[in-house]
Amino acid sequence: MWWSEERIRWYERASNATGFHRALANVLEECITKEESILELGCGLGYVSALLAMDGYAIKATDIDKRAIEEARRIHKLDIFSTLDAEKVEDEADVILLLYFGRISENDNLHHYLSHAHKRLIAVISEHRGQSKELRKNSEEPAKTENHLKRFDALRWERIAFNASFDQPLSSYDDAAAYIETMYGRERMAEYMRYVRNEDGRLYLPNEKHSSIFIIDKGGIAQ
C-alpha cells in the first residue's frame, strides 16, 4: 500500500505545518450543509473529513488501506473512519467526496460514484504533478475531467479553483534526500535538492498546490 511509515510521517508534518487542509475544508463547507450526509472515499489520513466532522458535518470517511485508517483514527481520535474498497462501495450518502482520488474521467467512474450520491459528487483534482513551481508538470486530469463532463448535455456541474501552500517540512538534508527519492525517484534527486530551502532554521521543500474542485449534481446523467 502507498502509506508507508515514512510517507505518513512526512504527510502529518506537512499538514501540521500548513493551513492546507483547513483552507480546503473551508471551501468545501460552502458546497455542503450540516443537514446532508457525506461520505469520503479514498480518505487517506483523513485530515479534511476530520475537520468537517469537528465542524459539525455528518461525515464518514473510508479508505482501502488499513494502515491509513488506523493512522487516521490515531491522529484524529474520531469514530468516523472505516476500511472500504471504493470500487465495491455499497453505502450511499447525500454527497460523495473524492479528494485527490477517483479519476472520474476514466472507465465508468463518474456513473459509479454518482450512483452512490443522493444529491451530488464533489471531486478535488490536482492541477500538477510534483512540487516546486520550477519542476512540477501540469496534470491532464482536470482538463480530461471537464471534457468528460461536457459529454453529458443535461449534467449540471461547476469547476472552481483552489490554491494553497502545502510545503513539506524536513528535519535534515538526509531527510530531504529520503523524501525526494521516495516521492520522485533517485534520478530526480539533484534537481529537487536545489529547491530545498533553509529559512530561519526551517528546512522545507516549497509546494504551492493548485487544484480544481468539481461540483457535480446527481441529475442529468443516466444511472
Task: Report CA-CA distances (Å) from 200 to 30, 132, 175.
Answer: 36, 19, 18
Q: Is residue 171 part of a domain?
A: no
Q: Which residue has the cell 502509506?
A: 3
Q: Return mean pLDDT, the chain.
A: 94
The one-letter code for the residue type at 42 is G
pLDDT tens per residue, range 30-44: 999 999 999 999 999
Q: Is residue 138 part of a domain?
A: yes
Q: What is the pLDDT of residue 155?
A: 95
Q: What is the pLDDT of residue 30?
A: 98
Strands 208-217 and 93-99, how do they pair?
Answer: unpaired
Give the count of domains, the chain: 1
Mean pLDDT of 136-143: 87
pTM: 0.94
Mean pLDDT of 49-58: 99
Helix and strand counts by DSSP (H, E) for the chain: 8, 12
Name residue 61's beta-bridge partners. 40, 81
Q: Is residue 45 part of a domain?
A: yes
Question: DSSP alpha helices (H): ranges in the chain?
Answer: 5-17, 20-28, 47-54, 66-76, 109-114, 141-149, 173-184, 189-193
Task: Report CA-CA distances (Å) from 107 to 15, 39, 76, 112.
Answer: 32, 21, 34, 9
pLDDT at 7 over 90: yes
Packed helices 5-17 and 20-28: angle between N→C axes, nearest 10 degrees: 70
Q: Which residues contact 183 (CB under 8 A, 6 or more apart)?
A: 131
Q: Assign residue 99 the CATH number of its domain.
A: 3.40.50.150
Q: Is residue 187 part of a domain?
A: no
Instruction: Report how far residue 25's alpha carbon sits from residue 2's, in angstroms, rounded to the nearest whole number.
Output: 23
Q: What is the pLDDT of residue 129?
A: 77
Q: Is residue 197 part of a domain?
A: no
pLDDT tens per residue, range 151-187: 999 999 999 999 999 999 999 999 999 999 999 999 9
Q: Is residue 65 part of a domain?
A: yes
CA 176 to chain centre: 23
Q: Is residue 202 part of a domain?
A: no
Host domain of residue 130 = 5-166+210-217
Q: Is residue 195 part of a domain?
A: no
